[in-house]
Each structure stands twice: as C-alpha cells, then as structure tokens.
Amino acid sequence: MGQAATASMTVDAEILVPAATVQLVRFDMARPADNLLRDDKRYWLDLCLTPRPQNARACYRDHWSPHRFERIGKVFLLPPGETMQARSDGVSSQASILCHLQPEALRDGCGEALQWTDSRLQASLDIRDASVRSLLLRLATEARHPGFASQLLAELIIGQLSIELLRYCARVSEAPSGSGLAAWRLRRIDERLSEVAAAPTLSELAALCRVSVRQLTRGFRQSRGCSLGEHVANDRVERAKRMLLGDESVKAVAYSLGFSSPSSFCFAFRRSTGVTPREFRQRAPRLAA
C-alpha cells in the first residue's frame, strides 16, 4: 500500500479481521494534495467523515489520459493493483474510515475477479449508495467503541458490505450507455450547488442544463448512481459540515441553507450523519485537528 508524502496519516482506531483491516484515520495536508494511491493486494475503500478537501479529484493513470480527472465523492473504492493520482486544492485536514478488503471478498456471481471497465472505474470514485455508507459508518462506530464480540460483528458487517459493493458494480454494468448527462451539465449542477443559497428547484437545474426535468432526473441518476434529490440533500449536509466548523450558530446555518426551521435542519442532518449538528461541532476538533 502506498501514498505520496503530501499528507501525514494518523491511525486513531483499528479492527483486524481475516477479510479486511478497518482503520479510523486522520490526514493532515500541509499543502495542496497530489498523491499516488495504490494497494497491490487489497481493495481500498474510503468514507470521508469530514468534508473532502476542496476540488478533490482523481485520475486512473494506467487507463485515462493524464489530463482526465474525475470528482472524488464521499466514498471511493480503489481496486487492487490500480494506481490513482489524487489531487485537491488548498490545505486541510480530514478524517476517514478506511476498509482494506481482501480481493476474495469481491468476486462476481461466477467467482471471478471483477472486471474494471472505464464506467466502473469512474463510478468507483463516487459511490453514492446509502447501504455502503451506512455499513461503513457502523464500522466507524465499532472501531471507536468496540463492544462484545466486536471482531465477529465487524466480519458480519464486512460480509454485507462486500455484497452491497458487488450489487453497486452490477448496477453500473447494467446501466444503458450514453444515457447520462454530459460532463458540462454535471459541472453546471455542481457549480449551482456550491453557491451559498437555498437549494435549487428541479426546474431551475433543468433550465441551467437546457433539458427537460424528466431528462435531467433520468440522466443524472445514470451519471451519478443516485437521484438528483438525494444528491442535493447530501450536498447541503456537506456544506452544513463546513459551516459548522466555523462560528455561525446552528440556527444561522439552517436558514442560510434554505431549511424552513432549525428543527428540520437538525432532523435532516442527523438522518444523514447519525449525529446532531451540535454533536458534530463538538466532535469536529477531534476529527480534524
């Protein structure tokens, strides 16, 4: 396993089981990142528990042009033997739950190793699957606070996680080609969501992309593997996390993000992260310091 030296890594907790190594880690980046990630023997699964560094992006060097970089989402999966060049802008700290899976954990229906097509490689950089995310968060909790039969529970969670990842890859293979949104349309959506304003309507985004609402919603799901509504909700939570690291009150954050009330914001935030905004703010120094 390798990572370039633009970031230092601290392991805060660890679970070792035959199928995987699970680590709760912190990365401290003193300068904009330009790292080479590779694990010759295992899958590298990463769920970022804090906001990703600004403009996090990656290139599969052995398959893509050196100028092709795709966005890194909340969860990514690096296949064994593949080299990922990961870049970001600015300096930051982040916390992640890492799960290094043995290759035997991810076999297709015939028991063969997964074939990593271009579409699967791109989809691996932004795994928007609620089940995968929930299981990784469960592993993070178990790593922080191991209880009775912790290793056995971790093995069971990892088994379920492997199945969900296989299902995700199967859905990528079954998706009809050429039916997603063009890259410039996806960029316009991301640019609009990055603005400090209330969440956009479907009609507004459709107008920005010059397509109908139906074409927008269908194409977005094909491109990103989740509904546009889920994407907007997740984006608002990520923006909320960044704002909660500052001095604004929870009430001010709620209204600036377009929520009708602080209580509706707290409900949405807890449903997505498992903690309240206040709890996240209290824990953030331990995650990002």
Asked if the domains 7-174 and 183-288 are classified in one and the same CATH topology, the answer is no
Average confidence (pLDDT) over 133-138: 92
Compute the distance between CA of residue 37 and CA of residue 19 in angstroms, rounded to an integer.
Answer: 21
Residue 257 vs residue 39, higher pLDDT: 39
- Please give the CATH number for the structural domain made up of 183-288: 1.10.10.60
pLDDT at 181: 84
Residue 170 vs residue 6, higher pLDDT: 170
Sheet with 70-71: strands ordered across: 34-37, 84-87, 57-60, 70-71
* Lowest mean pLDDT across 245-249, 272-276, 282-286: 282-286
Q: Is the pLDDT of residue 173 over 80?
A: no
* Lowest mean pLDDT across 41-55, 184-198, 266-280: 184-198
pLDDT at 280: 86
pLDDT at 197: 64
Beta strand pairing status for 34-37 and 92-101? unpaired
Average confidence (pLDDT) over 38-43: 95
Chain centre to alpha carbon of residue 74: 1
pLDDT at 76: 98
Average confidence (pLDDT) over 217-242: 84
Phi, psi (degrees; rounded to nearest 5) at 209: -90, -5
pLDDT at 275: 86
Q: Is the pLDDT of residue 288 over 50?
A: no
For the chain, the average pLDDT equals: 86
* Lowest mean pLDDT across 56-65, 105-114, 184-193, 233-242: 105-114
Average confidence (pLDDT) over 7-27: 92
Residue in this structure with the two tokens 């916390």, named with its chain if needed: 95
pLDDT at 108: 60
| 7-174: CATH superfamily | Jelly Rolls (2.60.120.10)
Residue 22 vs residue 129, higher pLDDT: 22
Q: Is the pLDDT of residue 158 over 70?
A: yes
Q: Is the pLDDT of residue 4 over 70?
A: no
Report yes or no: 22 and 154 within 8 Å, Cβ to Cβ. yes
What residue spans define the domains of the chain? 7-174, 183-288
